[in-house]
Amino acid sequence: MLDPIREGAVWAIMGLPFGSFAIITLVSFLGLSRSGAWNPRFSGYLTVAAMLGAFLLSLWAFDTVVDSDGARAGFDAHKWLHIGPLYVSVGITLDGLSGVMLVVVTGVSLLVQVYSQEYMRGDEGYNRYFAFMSLFSMSMLGLILASSILQLFVFWELVGLCSYLLIGFWFQKDSARKAATKAFLVTRIGDLGFMIGLLIVYTEVGTLDITAIHNAAIAGAIGSSALTWFALGLFAGAAGKSAQFPLHVWLPDAMEGPTPVSALIHAATMVAAGVYLVARFFPVFAESEDALFTVALIGSITALIAALLGIVATDIKRVMAYSTISQLGYMMMGLGVGGLVAAIFHLFTHAFFKALLFLGAGSVNHATGTFDMRKMGGLATFMPITFGTVLVASLSLIGVFPLAGFWSKDEILADAWKDRPWVFFVALTAVFMTALYVGRMLILTFAGEYRGGEEGGHGGADQRHGTPHESPWLMTLPLLILAVMAVVAGFLNLGDWLGKIIEGWVPPETEELVTKSDFSLWIATASVGLGIAGLLVAWAVYQVRILESKAIEAFLQPIPEILENRYYLDALYQSFLVQTVLLGGLGAVVSLWDRYIVDGVVNGVARVTAWTSAQMRIAQAGQAQLYGAVMLVGSVAAVVTVLVAGGS
């Protein structure tokens, strides 16, 4: 409809939030905020204005890719670094895939920033919060738009940095500082794979340009084992960012940040990056059956184990965190069965209902001062808008017809049935478990009697405000908008409208490998049926209590205990691998070796030298020993060499 977007305008999509970051940082450095010249509220307004601008430009960019049916817009890359054979460029990839992502990221970010205006009001770190949030959005947008894999990696790491800074936003809290470090380190383990993959592909192809890598992969210019390792390396990176087993452990702790940060991390930035990365390199993955199988397998494991954890968690944000992990597993399953469109479509719908769930949790916390569902209950009457919107998001998450989640989940199921039936059964099982934990969460939070909330809690602005009440309009408005999206976003792919755009950039050779399946009534019925069955079980156990949950727990031991200890993975990583093996074992051994063997030898030599120089000092009456020693060593060597060399 509109004219095609120009390159400068695409850069501005990330330039605007960067500008707001830069201005807020500068203002803080100059101390204008402390002196009163800069009202902290300005930081909030500036961030919202920048995101609004970025959102509008993203719509323009999206319009451009719609007009081109998702084909890539031709922008030239620019030289960044050139050392002989190494040519690194920076440029823009604007196609159906990145166009959709742009809209999701800027749209959700905008709503989250609006919500934050109220949620973070009065926090000491108000300026810092909006500076980091701006940088976070900028980094994610930069990642999406990158045209070279190194450029992508740069923003990939910046996304990690911002999540580190925001998870540890309340850095004085012990749990927050630990969660921040954990998030950065665990994702960095995955990034090792990314970096090694990058090195492999550069060595094989000699370029870092993403399209050139795609073409090389399709043309068979990359050896099959190198290609598989490259894909697996990328997937390791994706598994870190997108919280896939066994690197998922950072995400549940990441809720230590302010709740709007969680909404952003879980919906639009950070965790979406991993799925995007695999999708971006889908032409490479499609060439390697081993890589696709790994993606499907890890996705399946992740979807199941996280859903199980969601059933036992008592913290509402933790339930949602496990839900995110599980849903990311779905997306990976989708990619693993070749369902590029289905996976990205699910990422798209998930962004809306998951952002809504987190903002809803923040709203609940705003009212009760706690995230512990055992202290909530009966909030439906106090907070009708929050309840209504969270209910919509929950049903969308379960995949109830005709909400957004239904359509995208159904596509993944149908693709799985066609490509790898075992994945289909895993996905179907996870549907039931999703409904179970969602039902439990809804009942514990909103039904029954109010159980009193808590004083204080998460510090900063996450503070209690008396008796439960509905949140102010700046918080409920984003909820309402997201609720509308959680209902209607699924219709965008009726007739494969959105799907055609999402895969419009895929080369024809790869397109043959993309799994496409038609709507199948029995699959849809099965998934909705299992979803409702899950809700009914939750209702039976937690509401009418036909079965006592304690009795079930006792019957199922030791499973609940394993779940409550999160499969002992955190213990394995922290106590065993880090404390015992790395610090206690390797570190201690190397440290002793360094002190007693390496330095011991040195000190021995030094003692001999000191003795020698003491003798010399006697001979030379002890002056200028330092220079004397230099002269001695040097001239002896010189004389010897001159004689030897001269004689030959």
Partner 1 sequence: MLTIAIFLPLAGALGIALLPKRQEQHARAIATAYSAAVLAVVTYLFIAYDRGDSGYQFVDSTKWFESDLTNFTLNYAVGVDGLSLPLLALTSFLSLVAILISWRVDLRPKEYFAWLLVLETSLMGVFSSLDFVLFFLFWEVELIPMYFLISIWGSGNRVYSAWKYVLYTFFGSAFMITGILTLGFTAGTFDVRELAQIGEIEGAVIPAWAIFSLIIIAFLIKLPIVPFHTWLPDAHTDAPTAVSVILAGVLLKMGGYGILRMSFSIMPDVAKDADVLLAAVAATGIIYGAVMTLVQTDLKRLIAYSSVSHMGYVLLGASSIGLVGMTGAATQLVTHGLLTGMLFVLVGMVYDRAHTRDIGQLSGLAQRMPFITVMMLVAGLGSLGLPALAGFAAEVTVFLGTFERHEALTILGVIGVAFAAGYILWTIQRVFWGEATERWADLTDATAWWERGPLLALTLAIVSIGVYPAWIMDLLRDGVSPIAERLA
177 vs 516 by CB, closer to partner 1 = 177
CB neighbour list of residue 489: distance below 8 Å, 6 or more residues apart: 348, 349, 352, 404
Residue number with CB closer to partner 1 (148 or 326)? 148
Is residue 267 within 8 Å of residue 354, measured between CB atoms? yes
What are the two backbone dihedrals, phi and then psi, of residue 92, each rounded to the nearest 5 degrees? -120, 130
Pick the closer one to partner 1 by CB: 95 or 157. 157
> Least distance (Å) from partner 1 to the CB of residue 212?
15
Closest separation in Å from C-beta 590 to partner 1: 5
Nearer to partner 1, 19 or 472 (CB): 19
**Cα separation values, 299 from 350, 418, 429, 514, Å:** 16, 17, 13, 18
Please report, as ranges, the residues that interact with partner 1 according to CB under 8 A: 79-86, 150, 153-155, 157-158, 161, 164, 168, 171-172, 174, 176-178, 180-181, 184-185, 188-189, 191-192, 195-196, 199-200, 202-203, 582-583, 586-588, 590-591, 594, 598-599, 602, 605-606, 609-610, 626-627, 629-630, 633-634, 637-638, 640-642, 644-646, 648
* Min CB(589)–partner 1 separation in Å: 9
- Contact call for residues 507 and 215 (beta carbons, < 8 A): yes
Q: Residue 369 Cβ, how far from partner 1 at the closest point, in Å? A: 21
The nearer residue to partner 1, 191 or 410, going by C-beta atoms, is 191
| H helices present in 448-558, as ranges | 473-488, 497-502, 508-511, 521-538, 549-556
Give the residue among 449, 390, 406, 433 at the shortest CA–CA distance from 537: 433
> Least Å distance between CB 203 and partner 1?
5
Least Å distance, CB 95 to partner 1, is 24
Alpha helices in 36-148 (DSSP H): 40-67, 96-119, 126-145
**At its nearest, how many Å lie between partner 1 and the CB of residue 572?**
17
Closest by Cα among 270, 258, 272, 268 to 115: 258
Strands 86-90 and 78-83: antiparallel
Smaller CB distance to partner 1: residue 93 or 363?
A: 93
- Say which amino acid occupies 98: S
Residues 204/222, Cβ–Cβ less than 8 Å: yes
Report, in Å, the least distance between residue 633 CB and partner 1.
5
Q: Which residue has tokens 């839900």? A: 323
Q: Are 17 and 47 in contact (CB under 8 A)?
A: yes
Q: What does the DSSP assignment read for 375-412?
A: G---HHHH-HHHHHHHHHHHHHHHT-TTSHHHHHHHHH
Shortest gap between Cβ of 85 and partner 1 (angstroms)? 7
Give 494 or 639: the residue with its C-beta nearer to partner 1: 639
Query: CB-wise, 91 or 490, nearer to partner 1?
Result: 91
Name which of 133 and 357 has its Cβ closer to partner 1. Answer: 133
